[in-house]
Structure 1
Amino acid sequence: MDLTNRPRGNRDAETVKAKLARLGEPHIAPITRLVEEIRALAGRPELPYVDPTFGGVNAEVLFLFDTPTRAAATSGMLSLDNDDAIAANVWEFSRASGLDRQRCVHWTAVPWSVDHGRGSRKVERPDVESALPWLARFIDLLPQLKLVVTAGEIARLALSLYLLREDARLIPWLAVAPPNTRLRSTSPLLWNDIPRAFDVAARITALERGHL
């Protein structure tokens, strides 16, 4: 049963299985190949794929997060349908804004877990710099990209460093906090910025389709 019409749809094993079977489709295959290249060259077999229900290489908006969540490791992909609170919040923000998932794609500033076998630790600048070439490669796969939304300090740092590269594409971007539910009570102003970023993304993609 496909549960992508509500949050946490990747709890359903058949939904995940069906998605993984689509990783070779033309819109997502170049990203799948990049993930497999990173897995091989960086020795990161756990690195998640990207949900094929996103727009893949046709995406106009990139949501850049800090690192993959545990739920991404469970489902095997970066997805707004994953079984965690952050993904569920992203799902709700997307629905409220009217943002079509096929116009978007997700990636992470550091695309692997930062633990080196010693348990989780804080991501530091050298981690971001080591992953920066992969971010550049990922952005190169998105010829229709119109906006990047960074969600988190690490994602913001990664995009800032990317834009300092001589080969960088100068893309409009917005920086917001990660959509962690705790933020709603601890920093409501930061929390309120998040749906505003989704609204901007929705407007940009609607303009590209000629609806506004």
Structure 2
Amino acid sequence: MRTYIAKFSLTAAAFVMGAHGATAQQTPSGPCDGQTTGSCNARALTQPIDVSRPAPLRTSAYITQVGDQNQASITQNAGQQFASIAQNGERNSATAQQMGDGAAYLEVDQGGLLNSIVVAQDAAPGGTNVALVEQFGENNVILLDQTATAGSANGAVLAQNGSDNHMKLQQSGSDNRAELVQLGDNNTMTATQNGSDNQLQWVQQGNGLSDLQIVQSGSQAMLIVQSNGGS
């Protein structure tokens, strides 16, 4: 566990730079209402996150696999798309689809047994999607769907470590940012960002934590931490 945390903090630092202020910050009412397991703390971000990565100059794809029965695929259809998938372990799968006429940047790092990552990125001309996805452990799932409008950029940093965790993020619109982290077992996260200028940092650390099913509809900033003694 400590090896993973150190690795994530280093890679995330390259993506998450609290540099630019948000035009507005608003917390949806009661994101922790109905929580039945673990503790929950939600508030507006004190330092808005910013996920950035240079747009690729040309389309390129890389797959590296070590282990048995791993599967990976990358589909691209435009001129400024970059995807890299690295897998180490057994029976893991990773699928990346980069569509549209805009730019896309994706890094996937996965290790363990029976893990699955599915990423779909679609950008209009002048739009950009950026994602860093890391997953380690057994039987974990990450689903990411990014759609960027013209002249905008969506960014996501997603990480899981443990067993039987499930994470799903959908970004649709412009200039949305999300950083989701799960450490433990049997945890679930579902988040949706619609509209523009949403920012979300969500951490689950423990076992069996509740899925808050966060929905942001525009110009909203949230920091959520869930934990219990299970990890």
Same fold (TM over 0.5): no
Higher relative contact order structure (alpha carbons within 8 Å, sequence separation ≥ 6): 1
Structure with greater proportional strand content: 2
Q: TM-score, normalised by structure 2?
A: 0.29
Structure with greater proportional helix content: 1
